[in-house]
Amino acid sequence: MILSTLASRVVTNTAGNTRAFNGATDQFNFAPLNLYQRPSERYGFSAYANYDLNDKTNLYSEFSFHDDRTIAQIAPSGLFFGNRTFNINFENPLLSADWRRDLGLVRAGDSAATFIGRRNTEGGGRQDDIRHTSFRTVLGVKGEFAKIWNYDVSMQTGRVIYQEVYKNEFSFARAANALDVVAGPGGAPTCRSVINGTDPNCVPYNLWIVGGVTPAALRYIQIPGFQSGETAQTIASANISADLGEYGWKLPTAKDGVGFSAGLEQRTEKLGLSNDVAFQTGDLAGQGGPVLDTNGKYTVKEAFIELRAPLIEGASFAHLLSVNASYRRSDYSINQKTDSYGFGIEWAPVQALRLRGSYQQAARAANIHELFDQQAIGLYNNSSDPCAGTVPTATLTQCQRTGVTAAQYGNIIDSPAGQYNLLGGGNPNLKPEVSKSYTLGLVIEPLKNLSATIDFFNIKLDDAISTLPSPIVLQQCLASGAFCNLINRDSIGSLWAQPSAFIVATNQNIARVTTAGVDVGVNYTHKLPGNGALAFNLNGTYLTKNESEPIPGTTYDCVGLHGTVCGVPSPKWRHKFRTSWMTPWSLDLALTWRFIDKVDFEG
């Protein structure tokens, strides 16, 4: 498909005859070449060592190595309309009379700035060769002192090396050369860059007839892209714990004393990504735009304390009544401080029945990827742009909120593939997200070998670190004027044709996310005289609410749904049921059944 200022045309035969583009029959079906399941290779190695210095001191170490490689494939690259225009000249000997007419090339010296939309069907799908290599080491010492105190001091380092080779991409610069064709010696179609010496390797790219693209042209235009990156983590931690009952810290109504633990931790995170020139300059036609190098680092220092106090034990109305509390302070080098704390209570009127409840307020600062991942142009799916087409479904006033001018209204070409640009990636200005969670549960042990649990939970997350779905951004801007600052249209008013067109979808602090549901668990063991035992274990979750509130008063409940707005599936019910046979021959056999409830597409 060729898109000029005069017409939208497709070629029909080897003679170069053209006709009008028909979206129903000419649109490229990109789905069949996308791999749902990718080939992969994985290797891993782990080693553990322990050494007792004495009966109270243990040295320990861990080392692990993992390497994985996978090759992803998506639809072919190509020239995607408004990524940029190409100057097509009257002198190009590959042009038929139809093409010269369609492009408005009347006489020698004429040229047309032309958008070209054509997939590289001859070259096959784009392949992304991805490899991760990771190392992790731990060195520590743990033990006890003064009879009741336990300690653990350790140092941990981790590193992940990332390598990517992106194959079968088109080079914009080479495509421009290969489309700038003139008559060479003997009248043969020749790249202008060959004649003037700026690129003697250029081969003409003949998309003006059916079957005109040669293997030599593909070898010239197709180039790879290279990326490499690394994440690193260093953790130093120390913690102590004790039963303070030995010091008399216990109530007269309880048998056990107050449990205490506290600790310090310092964690440093680093991230870096390097790109080759093709990625950095945006020369790869199928990448949406430039992908720049990025680096980031932060350090967090934390301190925590936890207490557990039995209040009553062994009474007629309380086999056990206990409370617990915790507090954590985190200080980040990126000028953020967070506080997390929680309280809980547990009451067992009899040994076979236990009630429990808790409240927690926790704060989480953004991780290294949420902060510093590179920002780059990607794609999102939508049925249409309400402001595109000759008869837009949105009004002029609504569309002007999104950046459409009065002159563009009714003249914007919609994406033929239903795909539009977004700007994704990290955001170094993220605030910590804060959660408030409530749980209420019941534990029943009616028989010696049977136990069951049920826990109701409700979690409210304010300033949640997430992304705003691009269709919702567009919808809210049209309806109320919210989020309009996130919408950027290009010079022709589109949301897809050029790299300057995109909706900002970087990580943000959205208003609120609320999740609620029920966790259930059942455990049963049945002895087989002389043949070991059978164990049955069921763990499941019933989700009643999964609401996102990007702006106050506007909620989207994604339970049982998936799609552009909801993202990953949120099934109402999921469980894992495991049956194990513990044989008397030092051999265990297990069978696991995992079930995930169906979900519907939100549309």
- The 10s digit of each residue's pLDDT in 239-261 is 999 999 989 899 999 999 999 99
Lowest-pLDDT range of 81-90, 136-145, 524-533: 81-90
Model confidence at 15, in pLDDT bands (50, 70, 90)? confident
pLDDT at 19 over 90: no
For residues 380 and 196, give the distance between their C-alpha atoms in angstroms, rounded to a whole number: 42
Residues 180 and 173 sit within 8 Å (Cβ to Cβ): no
Looking at the chain, the whole-number percentage of residues with pLDDT higher than 70 is: 98
Q: Is 558 exposed, middle or buried (0-12, 13-18, 19+ CB in 10 A)?
A: buried
Q: Is the pLDDT of residue 461 over 90?
A: yes
The yes-or-no verdict on residue 3 having pLDDT over 80 is no
Share of the chain above pLDDT 90, in %: 78
What is the reported pLDDT for 312? 95
pLDDT at 11: 77
Poorest-pLDDT segment among 119-123, 399-403, 442-446: 119-123
Q: For residues 177 and 171, what is the distance between their CA atoms, to the nearest angstrom?
A: 10
pLDDT of residue 6: 45
**CA dist list (Å): 570 to 59, 350, 435, 436:** 44, 37, 20, 21
Q: What one-letter code names the amino acid at 465?
A: I
More confident residue, 562 or 2: 562
Q: What is the DSSP letter of 372?
A: H
Least confident of 97-111, 124-138, 160-174: 97-111
Of 81-90, 174-183, 246-255, where does mean pLDDT reach its minimum? 81-90
Rounded CA separation 377/470 (Å): 13
Instruction: Give me the chain's average pLDDT, please.
Output: 93
Quickly list H helices, 2-103: 23-26, 97-102
Q: Which residue has the higher pLDDT, 576 or 146?
A: 576
Q: Which structure tokens are listed for 362?
A: 């926790």
**Sign of dihedral through CA atoms 270, 276, 281, 284?**
negative
Q: Six-digit token pair at 299?
A: 């350090």
Residue 286 scores a pLDDT above 90 = no
Q: Would you state the pLDDT for residue 2?
A: 60
What tens digit of pLDDT does each residue of 37-78 get? 899 999 999 999 999 999 999 999 999 999 999 999 999 999
How much is the pLDDT for 14?
80
Q: Report CA-CA distances (Å) from 564 to 381, 561, 568.
A: 7, 10, 9
Residues 6+ apart with CB under 8 A from 178: 191, 202, 203, 204, 205, 217, 220, 221
Q: In the structure, what pLDDT confidence band is assigned to residue 416 with cuts at 50, 70 and 90?
A: confident
Is the pLDDT at 396 greater than 70? The verdict is: yes
Which of 505, 485, 277, 284 is CA-nearest to residue 378?
Answer: 505
pLDDT in tens, 309-368: 999 999 989 999 999 999 999 999 998 999 999 999 999 999 999 999 999 999 999 999
| Whether the predicted pLDDT of 110 surpasses 60 | yes
pLDDT band at residue 4, thresholds of 50, 70 and 90? low
Q: Which long-range contacts (CB under 8 A, 24 or more apart) does 399-402 make?
A: 399/478, 401/477, 401/478, 401/481, 401/484, 402/474, 402/477, 402/478, 402/484, 402/487, 402/489
Residue 70 has a pLDDT of 97
Q: Are 85 and 115 in contact (CB under 8 A)?
A: yes
